Amino acid sequence: MLKKRYIILSTCFILSILTIGAFRYSDKFFEVARGIDLFTRIYKEVAFSYVDEINPGEFMRAGIRGMLSTVDPYTVFIDEKKQDDIDLLTNGKYGGIGVSIGMRDGKVILLEIMEGYSAQKQGLQIGDIILKVDNKEFNEKNFEAISASVKGEPGTFVKLQVLREGLKDTLKYELLREEIHVKNVSFAGFVPENSTVAYIKLNQFSRAAGEEVKNALHTLNAQRKLTGIIFDIRNNPGGLLDVSVDICNRFLPKNSLIVSTKGREESSLKQYYATQEPLYKDIPLVLLVNDNSASASEILAGAMQDHDRAVILGEKTFGKGLVQTITPLSYNTSLKITTAKYYTPSGRCIQKINYSKDNKVIATPDSLKMTAFFTDHKRKVFSSGGITPDTVVVDPDLPGVVRDLLAKGMFFKYTSSIIAKNGKEDVNRMSEHALFEEFQKFIASQNYEYRDELEKKVSDLIEFTKKDKQYSQLTQKFVDLESSIKKSTAHAINNARTEILQEITAEVCSRSEGTEGRIKKYLQSDVQFQTAVELIKNSVKYKSLLAGK
Count helices and strands in the chain by DSSP H and E runs: 18, 21
HSE-CB of 532 using CA atoms within 13 angstroms: 33
Residue 46, Cβ neighbours under 10 Å: how many?
13
Among residues 233, 203, 213, 211, which one has the least CA distance to residue 112? Answer: 203
* Distances in whole angstroms, Cα of residue 462 to Cα of each of 27, 63, 469, 487: 62, 45, 12, 18
Percentages (nearest 5) of helix, strand, coil residues in the chain: 45, 20, 35
* Residue 168 DSSP one-character state: S
Q: Judging by DSSP bridges, how do beta strands 311-314 and 391-392 pair with one another?
A: parallel
Among residues 236, 246, 259, which one has the least CA distance to residue 207? Answer: 246
The three-point CA angle 100-502-193 to 5° equals 85
* Residue 129 DSSP one-character state: E
Supply the pTM of this predicted model: 0.84
CA distance 398 to 25: 56
pLDDT of residue 320: 94
* Distances in whole angstroms, Cα of residue 503 to Cα of each of 85, 507, 509: 30, 6, 10
CA distance 160 to 127: 14
CA 506 to chain centre: 21
pLDDT of residue 2: 42
CA distance 439 to 416: 12
* Distances in whole angstroms, Cα of residue 110 to Cα of each of 96, 125, 164: 14, 7, 10
Among residues 83, 78, 134, 129, which one has the least CA distance to residue 106? Answer: 129
- From first CA to last CA, the distance across the chain in angstroms is 65
Q: Judging by DSSP bridges, how do beta strands 285-289 and 228-232 pair with one another?
A: parallel
The architecture CATH gives domain 185-395: Alpha-Beta Complex (3.90)
- What length is written for the chain? 549
pLDDT of residue 6: 41
CA distance 239 to 243: 8
Task: Kindly give the parts of the chain with pLDDT less than 50.
Answer: 1-15, 18, 365, 367
CA distance 332 to 77: 11
Domain assignments of the chain as residue spans, ordered by start = 93-181, 185-395, 400-525
Which element (helix H / strand E) includes 286?
strand 285-289
pLDDT of residue 142: 74
What lies within 8 Å, CB to CB, of 443 at 6+ separation is 405, 410, 414, 493
Q: Which residues are catalytic?
A: 295, 306, 320
* Distances in whole angstroms, Cα of residue 307 to Cα of each of 241, 252, 292, 472: 18, 8, 23, 65
In this chain, the answer to whether the domains covering 93-181 and 185-395 adopt an identical fold is: no
Cβ atoms of 458 and 478 closer than 8 Å? yes
Q: Does the N-terminal peptide bond of residue 73 adopt cis geometry, omega within 30 degrees of 0?
A: no
Residue 298, Cβ neighbours under 10 Å: how many?
29
Cβ atoms of 230 and 270 closer than 8 Å? no
Cβ atoms of 243 and 207 closer than 8 Å? yes
* Distances in whole angstroms, Cα of residue 109 to Cα of each of 147, 164, 208, 409, 493: 12, 10, 28, 11, 26
CA distance 458 to 477: 10
Q: What is the fold, at CATH topology level, of the domain defined by 93-181?
A: Pdz3 Domain (2.30.42)
pLDDT of residue 23: 52
Among residues 167, 109, 166, 168, which one has the least CA distance to residue 417? Answer: 166
